[in-house]
Amino acid sequence: MSTDPQTVEATLGITPSQTIGPFFAYALTPRAYGGSELATGIVAAEGVAGERIRIVGTVSDGDGAPVGDAMLETWQADTQGRYNAAGNAGFTGFGRIEATAEGTFQIETIRPGPVAAPDGTM
């Protein structure tokens, strides 16, 4: 079989968009079900040291239509380059948020500091 991209596309067609799963929404995006605060999109609570930032956006599919059932996760370091460090109450280093029906999302956090790790590895 040819591996030339034009031949493969002409023969097999373009792979349709799909998700893996099925997923159980109440475990992935529990906020809609009255669950965990992890699903609020707040990575750094008010009062955590650091420059506060808000990340906003819209999740769209390949045709530009909003994806209303998207789930986003964020992992980040604190201002000192540490992940979920002891003694840094209010900073989880992790956030999960579900998009609105219009595909929009908002994450509240702080500007992360540089992580002390060699380039390209963790």
Please state, rounded to an integer, the average pLDDT across all residues of the chain: 78
Mean pLDDT of 26-51: 73
Give the model confidence (pLDDT) of 39-76 as tens digits: 678 888 888 889 999 999 999 988 889 988 788 888 89
SS3 at position 29:
coil
User: CA 96 → CA 21, 28, 39, 63, distances in Å?
Assistant: 18, 8, 5, 25
Q: Does residue 46 lie within any of the structural domains?
A: yes
In a domain, 14, yes or no: no
In a domain, 88, yes or no: yes
Domain around 98: 39-115
Identify the CATH number of the domain in which residue 104 sits: 2.60.130.10
Q: How many domains does the chain have?
A: 1
pTM of the model: 0.66
pLDDT reported for residue 82: 87
Percent of the chain past pLDDT 90, that is, above it, reads 24
Domain assignment present for 30: no
The answer to whether residue 26 sits within a structural domain is no
